[in-house]
Chain A
Amino acid sequence: MASDERTIKGRAAIVGIGETRYYKRAQSPHPELRLCLEAIMAAADDAGLSVDDLDGFASYSNDRNDPSLIASALGIPELRFSNMVWGGGGGGGSAAVGNAAAAVAAGYADHVVVFRALAQGQFGRFGQAPPLRTVSGPMAYTMPYGLMSPAQMFAMRVQRFMHEHGVGQPALRAVALASYHHAQSNPRAIMNGRPLTPEAYDASRWIVEPFHLYDCCMENDGAAAVIVTSAERAADLRQPPAHVWAAAQGSAEGQALAAHNAPDYATSNFKTLAPRLYATAGVGPADIDVVQSYENFTGGVVMALVEHGFCAPEQVNDFFTPENLSAPGGRLPLNTSGGNLAECYMHGLELIIEAVRQVRGTSTSQVTDVELSLVISGPMVSPVSNLLLAATR
């Protein structure tokens, strides 16, 4: 490859994965920083690296664990790269891997950790409104009207998408059923042993129409980490590398405008990113073997898969069935660990880890002969990001 070619393809790989045990919200016996350190050390061990080898850290969604503190706590000899993707939700998950890959490709650092840690007993919840006496700016245009949680923010977008394309509730239900189905073979999953039936989905309470309870992600405690290094270095390490073929982050015009004024509203915000990702990798949706797509809410997954070209908006009702979305034989196996809905809400880093497992061949719902494994991070927020991992360089 010419050294002046502006692409990440073939230059970096994920070589280590690590997780703590996953807990129900506020059930972790340990504070967040300890969980974070535990996951990072597990990832180093998985890769066959010494913790001393780690020299960079990247995260997203305002993770509270500052890389300087982590590096000091771990006794790391030299910190060379620390990086944070702006924005909430899980929108920065794939972007953090992209940034780590860019850092090793540029030579800023050699082994960059991408991490996320959450302990909601120690800190606050996402799904509850903050206690305020007054409100100003963009929140003043929504909160006094009772629109203040992530579910309430995104139900409005999904409702419009369903209206524009005649999408029925069973399409959203199929996403939830696929996640719960895959969680039943994953002993790490919070919802392992708690299968979901279509009848139970239909009977579950509304959170905010069009979202039932099972359309909404869990909130959990735990930590997860992956290690990114150069493709050359990856070849010498313990695990089969998951090569980075492409990563993209960003947003379409006006997606962060206040009071739901994005010019293109009924979107997951991937219309600009998906073509960019495919063009970098030189592939298309037909080449993808398995997908992990961040489920803040099921409706966002539906929009994101449409915008990644897996089906047209008018085909959603036919395409989104539990059979099509299930490993190993479905047309597009989706969220094969159980994801945010049924494995653990580790802000989508658990989805990146599952995408690596699919490349390695070690998933509990393994798809046969995976060559290309796609991650979609944070539909409907801004920025969003995506990541394409491959078994070959």
Chain B
Amino acid sequence: MAPMNGSYLPAGLPAPVPAAGDLDAEHWAAAARHELAVQRCNGCGRHQWGPEWVCHRCRSFDLGWAVVAPGGTIYSWERVWHPVHPALAEACPYVVVLVELPQAESIRMVGNLLGDPTAPVAIGAEVDAVFEDHPDGEPAYTLVQWRLRSAGA
């Protein structure tokens, strides 16, 4: 997955920073390396997203990270026409997808579907992750975006 030139949404949205206690710091660090990392329980092996302090299943505090294959399927989607943030005033429409990761017990991640924002979107379509670098962010960050697998690399 090559870094993109430019980003799907315009600059001016808030930059993601690690949560209190660095709970999700590894996710953002991995994204910057262009890897998809999600939380996994060292006790029972369960994946979860977003990161939590205990495993939902076995309630262990011993949680680690797993780099998973950067692909999934579209579980749901929406096309936004009405901007609610000044940075998005000229950016509508844009498409937000909820992507399910079957390789990680079907946890879901929110991202944008790259490509024509007016095209039809199909639930169940296969997508691949695209790591979108924001070197000018304050601080710099990388988002995990998605592209239809049928669109090719």
| A residues lining the B interface (CB < 8 Å) | 127-129, 132-138, 140-149, 151-152, 155-157, 159-160, 163, 205-210, 254, 257-261, 265
Contact = CB atoms under 8 A, between A and B. Distances in A.
13 contacts: A128-B84, A128-B85, A129-B85, A135-B16, A140-B24, A141-B109, A148-B84, A151-B82, A152-B80, A163-B76, A209-B81, A261-B49, A261-B50
A288 B35 CA distance: 54
Given A147-B80, A160-B98, 15 more contacts: A132-B14, A134-B139, A136-B19, A137-B50, A141-B109, A145-B110, A156-B98, A206-B82, A209-B81, A257-B50, A259-B108, A260-B98, A260-B108, A261-B48, A265-B108
Contacts of A129: 84-85
A146 B112 contact: yes
Nearest to A125: B84
B4 interface: no
Given A152-B80, A163-B123, A208-B79, A145 B112 contact: yes
Interface residues of B, number: 43
A146 B19 contact: no
Contacts of A151: 82
Contacts of A144: 9, 13-16, 141, 143
A160 B75 contact: yes
Give me the 9 closest cross-chain CB pairs, A-B, nearest first: A258-B50, A140-B16, A160-B76, A206-B81, A135-B14, A132-B14, A155-B78, A129-B85, A209-B79
A151 B85 CA distance: 13
Contacts of A254: 56
A207 B80 CA distance: 6
A259 B47 CA distance: 14
A285 B79 CA distance: 35
A127 B85 CA distance: 10
B76 A159 contact: yes
B64 interface: no
A258 B14 contact: no
Contacts of B141: 144
A207 B18 CA distance: 31
Nearest to A160: B76
Nearest to A135: B14
Contacts of A207: 81-82
A152 B78 contact: yes
A127 B123 CA distance: 27
B68 interface: no
Interface string B91-134: 10110101000000001111110000000000100000000000
A132 B138 CA distance: 12
Given A133-B138, A208-B79, A143 B98 contact: no
A296 to B, nearest CB: 15
Contacts of B109: 141, 259
Contacts of B143: 144-145
Contacts of A163: 76, 123
B110 A141 contact: yes
A133 B138 CA distance: 8
Nearest to A129: B85
A287 B72 CA distance: 45
